């Protein structure tokens, strides 16, 4: 493997130090109730309320557990902050791990193997965890993080804005077999032109987090790199076609807000947004009629893309055993069903529209079936790779020239591969 660069090297060194002892070896645990800290990247009040309720329930039957703190870190800097904490000897006891960071964490030896502790937990059936959900978090037959959220991307729709702009709804197009990216982009361009609103928002992209564009380019069959991770595919014909379409939609048709424009779908400022069902809670008090539909079909037909998050226990935690036990409780069948209100579970028994509807009252069973259940069955995970931290920064910088009028799409994408191919090769 070629050098990963400064940021990735920091992450790798931090993880290896955690897994192998080194200068950050855990101090002996103090006597009395032991506190636990879990880093997370959500600060959503509903999410935190649920987490704290589960933690309080755990403490009732575990006098050895002290305060359980959920420590939000901004999404944009999450992995960098986490690895910096690890390198500085301030690792959390448990951590959410992004799918893009999974290869580095799983291979580093930084995480506690979980099959033993989960397999012994009351009511736990490891066989109920779906292979599609656990694949990214396994190595040599062991599970190193619990995939608590396997969440496909869908499209939330402001039907009132579409109606005001004289457009059909996506549901009408789905029934007619015409829910495609050509139609979706035209609808959003009409809303922007006639209503002066924001059109389509690819949430959390913001012309920085390019991996969220997989929810768009997947319709063209495009990928960031080959399955084995060794060959850049940003310069493929499929990617060039997808990004050319996206560029035109942004800068010519105004179907998406341009760089530097802040638009909030959930405040009624846009016609559509691509995101996951964990954001549905933001529509609790929506003043507009809305819907949730699958991603539009692209030239290569229907497709689905999902993001994942795993929860791992850090080996150098002075409370690693207690942390693993809490993780088993936090993700047992009963609590998994509660978490499913925001985070689609990896349990096959809970991946039914009826079960998910019980914990997602804002969403209809048919919405959950089409977006979540069908999406997990046929979807692919967002781009992930060893050394993802440096790769992500390099791709982001190489794509910057694309986000301006008149950009030469193919030249920019060729430039991306020129930058990252040396990082991908063995």
156's enclosing H/E stretch is strand 154-158
274-297 average pLDDT score: 94
DSSP 57: H
Residue 11 has pLDDT above 60, yes or no: no
* pTM recorded for the entire structure: 0.82
Query: For residue range 387-417, what is the model confidence (pLDDT) as tens digits?
Result: 888 899 999 999 999 999 999 999 999 999 9
SS3 content of the chain, % helix, strand, coil (to 5): 50, 15, 35
pLDDT of residue 294: 98
Q: How far apart are CA 205 and CA 217, in angstroms?
A: 13
pLDDT of residue 359: 79
In three-state form (DSSP H/G/I as H, E/B as E, the rest C), the secondary structure along 333-349 is HHHHHHHCCCCCCCEHH
Q: How far apart are CA 327 and CA 118, in angstroms?
A: 8
Average pLDDT, the chain: 90
pLDDT of residue 241: 98
């Amino acid at each position: 493997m070629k050098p990963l660069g400064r940021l990735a090297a920091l992450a790798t060194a931090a993880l290896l130090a955690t897994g192998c002892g080194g200068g950050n070896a855990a101090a002996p645990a103090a006597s009395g109730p032991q506190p636990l800290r879990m880093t997370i990247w959500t600060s959503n009040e509903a999410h935190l309320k649920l987490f704290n309720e589960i933690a309080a329930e755990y403490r009732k039957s575990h006098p050895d557990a002290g305060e359980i703190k959920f420590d939000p870190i901004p999404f944009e800097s999450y992995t960098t902050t986490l690895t910096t904490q690890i390198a500085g000897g301030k690792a959390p006891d448990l951590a959410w791990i992004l799918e893009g960071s999974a290869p580095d964490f799983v291979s580093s030896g930084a995480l506690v193997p979980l099959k033993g502790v989960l397999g012994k937990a009351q009511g736990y059936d490891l066989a109920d965890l779906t292979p599609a959900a656990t694949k990214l978090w396994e190595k040599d037959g062991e599970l190193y993080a619990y995939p608590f959220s396997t969440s496909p991307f869908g499209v939330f729709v402001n039907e009132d804005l579409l109606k005001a702009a004289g457009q059909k709804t996506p549901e009408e197009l789905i029934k007619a077999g015409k829910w495609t990216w050509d139609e979706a982009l035209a609808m959003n361009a009409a809303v922007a032109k006639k209503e002066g609103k924001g059109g389509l928002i690819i949430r959390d992209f913001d012309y920085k987090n390019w991996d969220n564009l997989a929810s768009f380019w997947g319709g063209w069959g495009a990928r960031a790199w080959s399955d084995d991770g060794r060959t850049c595919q940003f310069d493929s014909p499929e990617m060039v076609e997808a990004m050319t379409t996206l560029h035109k939609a942004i800068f010519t048709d105004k179907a998406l807000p341009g760089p530097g424009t802040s638009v909030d779908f959930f405040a009624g400022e846009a016609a559509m947004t691509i995101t996951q069902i964990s954001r549905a809670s933001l529509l609790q008090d929506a003043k507009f009629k809305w819907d949730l539909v699958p991603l539009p079909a692209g030239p290569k037909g229907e497709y689905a893309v999902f993001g994942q998050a795993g929860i791992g226990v850090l080996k150098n935690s002075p409370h690693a055993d207690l942390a693993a036990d809490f993780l088993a409780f936090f993700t047992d069948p009963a609590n998994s069903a509660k978490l499913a209100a925001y985070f689609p579970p990896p349990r096959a028994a809970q991946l039914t529209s009826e079960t998910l509807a019980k914990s997602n009252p804002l969403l209809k069973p048919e919405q959950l079936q089409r977006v979540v259940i069908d999406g997990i069955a046929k979807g692919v995970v967002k781009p992930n790779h060893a050394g993802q931290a440096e790769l992500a920064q390099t791709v982001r910088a190489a794509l910057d020239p694309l986000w301006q009028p008149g950009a030469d799409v193919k030249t920019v994408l060729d430039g991306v591969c020129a930058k990252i191919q040396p990082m991908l090769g063995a």
